[in-house]
Homo-oligomer: A and B are copies of this chain.
């Protein structure tokens, strides 16, 4: 049987004028690929009705599935429902349940629904409504010729929630594909070319495809196994790859691992111990706080912009750095209620952080129930790279601590 052909359609002038980058298309492509569908094409068009109508008809002729995002808002430049109605001869009709849902959304926010939002409850006749409790615009799905069309709003949070809740289960039923099996090894602190070199020493079984997803200090190695690849051989291959990379591997799993980050691995350890973590950030610039916030194991964060401010906060003189700073930080951290506390002590001038030729020496101080642990690293790159690296290495110092603990136990 031929594998079904999927296409992705993105709509909006903000995309064709380049105001925003289309991240929906790549997210949806990953999801569809992992379901075993071939994504043949992405197309983006602006807010012009005749372009949209023509394009929908084209796609209906060549694809088995089209996932469309955007153009379902309440304003005059939102034209998708109208375009689908014209392209496939199914006029818009008021969907009373959709209208009640849009109204209910505003009621939850304590507001009256503006009259123009009524437009969002107009759906092409015969289409299936896709509820959107996460926002105002319901989606809809319809069949046109050989092609199943799914229309969702362009707001990424709403689109992803709707896809996972309504669209994915439906696609699994509708297209009984056997997906290739993806295994993902998440690593930290080892660059893409070093990973490639370490893996060059291993002979992968025939048919297994090796890929990388480079993202700075956290990089993923991907192994794509053909459908029905024997389980034992798969396990063996993954184990050999993990051994070749070494203890930089912090998580191994299937396609669900693609979103896994170091913080979630550390968080699992903290959650098991019913413990919380307090952090003092300097170099990472608030990135740890915003990653931890909302997590049940987050104890709090102090974000300090530079070393001078840190010294003021600690009430110490910069002379004799770093030891007095570390002593003062440990003393302070002990005062907080969290069982674990991590501080970044680093000497830098904030105005020079973006200078790529400037490296920063950073001391990670980890206060745990069984002692104080320290580690020193040097971090380079522009300001964003320094912040991202400091964040990753901070979480990694905690991960390595828990790794040593479990090593002691076994």
Contacts and interface: CB of A to CB of B under 8 A. Distances in A.
Determine which residue in A116, A136, A337 has the highest number of CB atoms from chain B within 10 A of its CB, and name it.
Answer: A116
Interface of A: 10, 13-23, 25-33, 39-48, 51, 73-77, 108-110, 114-117, 133-134, 136, 155, 157, 191-194, 196-197, 200, 210-214, 258, 281, 285-294, 296, 298-305, 309, 312-313, 337, 350-351, 353-354, 356-357, 359, 378, 380-384, 387
Given A16-B41, A133-B356, A289-B289, A197 B380 contact: no
Given A193-B75, A289-B301, A383-B294, A16 B29 contact: yes
Contacts of A303: 286, 289-290, 293, 300-303
Contact of A26 (B21, B136, B312, B313): B21
A213 B200 CA distance: 47
Given A21-B21, A301-B301, 5 more contacts: A19-B26, A116-B197, A117-B193, A286-B286, A293-B387
Contacts of A117: 193
Determine which residue in A211, A303, A359 has the highest number of CB atoms from chain B within 10 A of its CB, and name it.
Answer: A303
Contacts of A108: 356-357, 380
Contacts of A357: 108
Interface of chain A: mostly helix, strand, loop or mixed:
mixed
B40 A45 contact: yes
Given A18-B26, A75-B193, A110 B359 contact: yes
27 contacts: A14-B213, A15-B26, A15-B42, A16-B29, A16-B42, A18-B29, A19-B30, A41-B43, A42-B43, A43-B43, A47-B211, A77-B210, A110-B359, A114-B196, A114-B197, A117-B193, A134-B382, A285-B290, A286-B286, A286-B290, A286-B292, A289-B289, A290-B290, A294-B350, A294-B383, A298-B305, A299-B309
A300 B294 contact: no
Contacts of A302: 300-303
A211 B309 contact: no
State how many copies of this chain the complex holds.
2
Nearest to A302: B302
A278 to B, nearest CB: 10
Contacts of A23: 21
Nearest to A282: B293
A356 to B, nearest CB: 6
A284 to B, nearest CB: 8
Contact of A300 (B19, B75, B200, B313): B313
A30 B18 contact: yes
Given A39-B16, A193-B117, A305 B309 contact: no
A13 B23 CA distance: 16
A198 to B, nearest CB: 10
